[in-house]
Structures are given as C-alpha cells and as structure tokens.
Amino acid sequence: MVKQHYQNRIFMKTIIMKKLLYLIIPLFFLFNNSSSKCGDVSSSFNLSLYDGGNFTAIFNNGESSQVTDEIEYNNIEAGKYYLKVIKESPKVPAVPDVIFSDYIIIPQDCKVFAVIDESNRLYIYKKISDFSHYTGSRHNCDCNCEYCQKCIYKTGKIGETETGNDDCYSKSMNEKDFNDALKIISDKQFEATKVDIGKQVADANTLTCAQLREMLKTLSFEDSKIQLAEYAYDKLCDPKNFMKVYDVFSFESSIQMLQQYVSRKNKN
C-alpha cells in the first residue's frame, strides 16, 4: 500500500513537470523571438554632398577614404563617432579643404542617410529602422522595442524657421494660400495634372523648401517628384535648404539626380 502511494506521488510529480515544460518552452521561444526582432542589426551611415561633388572622409579616426561622391559605412555599433569630410577647394593649385569636422551620433539598428549642405552642416534627411528588409521604400516601425516606439520619420512643418535671421519666410507664400493650393493639388486624380498645378503655384509665388516638400508628398511617382522639384528649384527663397526635400524620395538614385542638377545650376 505504501509502495503504491509512493508510485502515485512519483506519477503525479511527473505529470506536473511535463505540464510546466509545456508552458515554459513556448514562453522561452516567445521571449527569444521578440528580443531578436530588434537589436540584432547593426547600423549603417550613408554620406554625400548637397551638390553631388567628390570628397574624402575620415570616419572614427580611421584611414582616409578614396575620393568619391558617396560613401557608406556598414556594421556600425550605435554610439558617438568622429567624422571629418575633406573636399578639394577651387583654388589653384587645388588644396584640401576641411568642410566638416565634428562628432555625430549613430542610432541603434538604423540606416542613416546624411548630406553636407551648402553651409557645410551635416543634415540627416532619412532614417530607416529594420533596414535588413529595406527595399527602397519607407519602413513602418511595428516592433515593440524602445527604439521602434520612438522611431519617426523626419516630416517637418510648413513655415519651419531653421534659417535663423533669413527673411525668406516673410517673403514666401502665406500658409493659408499655400494650404488652399495644396488641397487643390491633392484632390486631383491624375499625376500630370498635379505636377502642372504645382508648377503654376511655383510660377506665381515664392516657396520655401518646406512648402515644396509638402507638394512633392502629394505625388506618387519618382519621375513626377523629380520633375516638379527641379522646376521649382529656381522659385525657392531658401535653396540652401534644398536637401530637406530628399526624404520624400524612395530611391537614392532620385536623390543623386537632384544633387547633380543642383551642381549644374551652381556652376552656371
């Protein structure tokens, strides 16, 4: 009788342990998968000049890069890095000219696209999280990790005044008129019609880069965006901020085309 009771206790303990294992094992895989969804991809940093010009760069006090119009550093851990950008000056004979020298912050698990603007400032125009699946279009942050909860795309607002004492914004199209024009463009069905109205708005008004960016967002195709961006370039009161429209483009080739366009305009 005692032996039978002892065997029953052993049997019950075995059943309980099996049930616990059935509960623990799925939880292990659940937590393991959720933690690996974020945080297992190192970052990347892509750099170019606003005019598509050639340069060399020194990243994190490493060796100087080859002369190039675009450079990308991959497999970077999140943190603070020193960046020096050197461009040959137009002087004769040509001499190296340091156009940027400062520390930059690389966020975790992010593909960062940056450009050195006309005033030799570094401007980050696009950040893409979870870029292991990047296909050229924006990624919607759907991960529950702390980084993705804070992940937002640089959108900007109409009337932003990042140009300091520049009186450009007092001369540009007022917000009400611009919003009315933007609604007319948005309501049109055909892409070509949207582009034509956008050109008419640019012809009749002085625009800011922030306003041009909002107009470009109403367009669906890269070719249409490039066409309107190039057309409106001469109508901008703050062309030095032109790189701020880059984040509405899905493909880097489109941005390179605009950089080459700006370079040609500046040489004329």
The CA distance from 126 to 153, in Å, is 7
Residue 136 sits in the same domain as residue 221:
no
Structure tokens belonging to residue 33:
């998968």
- pLDDT(73) > 80: yes
Residues 66 and 58 sit within 8 Å (Cβ to Cβ): no
Question: Distance between terminal CA atoms of the chain?
Answer: 105
pLDDT of amino acid 142: 47
Residue 100 sits in the same domain as residue 186:
no
- pLDDT(40) > 80: no
Q: Does 144 map to a domain?
A: yes
Average pLDDT over residues 132-158: 40
Q: Does 11 map to a domain?
A: no
Of 23-37, 77-91, 166-180, 192-206, which one has max mean pLDDT? 192-206
Residue 49 sits in the same domain as residue 122:
yes
Note the pTM of the prediction, 2 decimals: 0.56
pLDDT of amino acid 125: 82
How many Cα neighbours within 13 Å face the side chain of 26? Answer: 5
What does the pLDDT look like over 4-14, one tens digit per residue?
A: 555 555 555 55
User: What is the chain's mean pLDDT, rounded?
Assistant: 75
In a 3-state reduction of DSSP, which class is residue 203? helix
Residue 47 sits in the same domain as residue 146:
yes
Q: Which domain holds residue 255?
A: 168-267
Residues in contact with 131: Cβ distance below 8 Å, sequence separation at least 6, in sequence order = 41, 44, 109, 110, 111, 139
Residue 52 sits in the same domain as residue 145:
yes
Residue 179 sits in the same domain as residue 132:
no
Q: Does 31 map to a domain?
A: no
Nearest to 139 by CA among 111, 108, 105: 111
Nearest to 166 by CA among 230, 118, 226: 118
Domain tally for the chain?
2
Residue 200 sits in the same domain as residue 260:
yes
The CA distance from 214 to 186, in Å, is 10
| Last residue in a domain, options 120, 150, 180 | 150
Residue 140 sits in the same domain as residue 190:
no
pLDDT of amino acid 29: 40
pLDDT band at 17, cuts 50/70/90?
low
Residue 47 sits in the same domain as residue 143:
yes
In a 3-state reduction of DSSP, which class is residue 163? coil
Q: Phi/psi class of residue 235: alpha, beta or left (left: φ > 0; alpha: ψ in -120 to 50)?
A: alpha
- pLDDT(23) > 80: no
Residue 193 sits in the same domain as residue 116:
no
Determine phi and psi for 100, rounding to 5 degrees: -155, 135
Q: Does 29 map to a domain?
A: no
| Last residue in a domain, options 106, 124, 150 | 150
DSSP 51-80: T---BEEEETT-PBPPSBSEEEEEEEPSEE
Average pLDDT over residues 44-55: 88
Q: Does 16 map to a domain?
A: no
Q: Does 17 map to a domain?
A: no
The CA distance from 244 to 221, in Å, is 18
Q: Does 75 map to a domain?
A: yes
Residue 131 sits in the same domain as residue 185:
no
Structure tokens belonging to residue 2:
């005692």
- Which range is least confidently modeled, 50-64, 86-100, 105-119, 232-246? 86-100
Structure tokens belonging to residue 264:
């040609």
Structure tokens belonging to residue 237:
């009161």
Residue 143 sits in the same domain as residue 96:
yes
Q: Check residues 29 and 131 and name the one with the higher pLDDT.
A: 131
Structure tokens belonging to residue 200:
């008419």
Q: Does 25 map to a domain?
A: no
| Last residue in a domain, options 150, 182, 216 | 150
Structure tokens belonging to residue 161:
């005044």
What does the pLDDT look like over 187-202, one tens digit per residue?
A: 999 999 999 999 999 9
